[in-house]
Structure 1
Amino acid sequence: MPDPVRPADDDARGLARSLMASARFAALGVLLDDGSPLVTRVAFGLDPQGDPVSLISGLALHTAALRQRPACALLVGEPGDKGDPLSHPRLSLMCRAGFLSRQDPEHEVLAAHYLSRQPKAKLYLQLADFTFVRFAVTGAHLNGGFGKAFRLAAADLQPPGSTG
């Protein structure tokens, strides 16, 4: 049987980028200290370069897990109002998490950019335990609907013409 997962093409790249650009939240999968898996919902956005970011609390279980083991996964893409939820596109991102210190000069730039898409996050930015986490994508799987599975590289998710 041939591999049902196809290499990325221009349509798959465009759909994957569209799913990332429109997502306001994602499911985040991490491994806890004892090796148990945990999936939680986090706010989701893109930094000015088009890479995934979130603003998370240092008190959250998933934050401690990411600090201990930065390998993680994100799932973006929501089912539409009608039809089979499994027929709607979704994108799984395999990532490595990295935290951005509030003292980093880039923090203010990222905060302003993030708030343009997530204005309610202004409250969280005022709380000392919240910090940005960047997700460096190492690979991705796109399920574009029934029979439309694609394997993508990190470069496939970058906007056309970008150098990232």
Structure 2
Amino acid sequence: MTRLRALIRSLWEKLIGYAVRFGVVGLACYVLDTAIFNLLRTGALGDGLREPLTASTAAFAVALVASWIGNRYWTFRNRRRADPWREFAEFAAVAIGGFLIGLLCVWVSHYVLGFQSLLADNIARNVIGLVLGTAFRFLLYRYWVYGNRRTVAPAE
């Protein structure tokens, strides 16, 4: 029983704990991103960013910064880098990769398949793209940006 408990604790600390915290940060940033995307697509913030790819890009930029802060100071707080600008650059590179996965889903749905409603854009972006992009980001954040070989920042 003690071995099983130790194994479960080890799994929790090494992966599941990160996944849960990553999910909470991700959910908060998802809500922020989706709200901004829909406000832009409906014209509530002006007509300049109504096009779906432009609205996605603007919403992503805001959510990226919020996500980095949440992941740096909570999810991977014990693995923060001593150089936050390099960490942010790597974090952003991975986030952009995940964003491009979601953007590709919107592009295929909206422009190739012809599903041009707000609902179709949201399904392509916030269901299909979200699942694929989240898996991509979690793995690269956990094992590259905040991997074991990284230098940990001094406690703040």
Computing the radius of gyration over CA atoms, which structure comes out larger, 1 or 2? 2
Relative contact order higher in (CA < 8 Å, ≥ 6 apart): 1
TM-score (norm 1): 0.30
TM-score (norm 2): 0.31
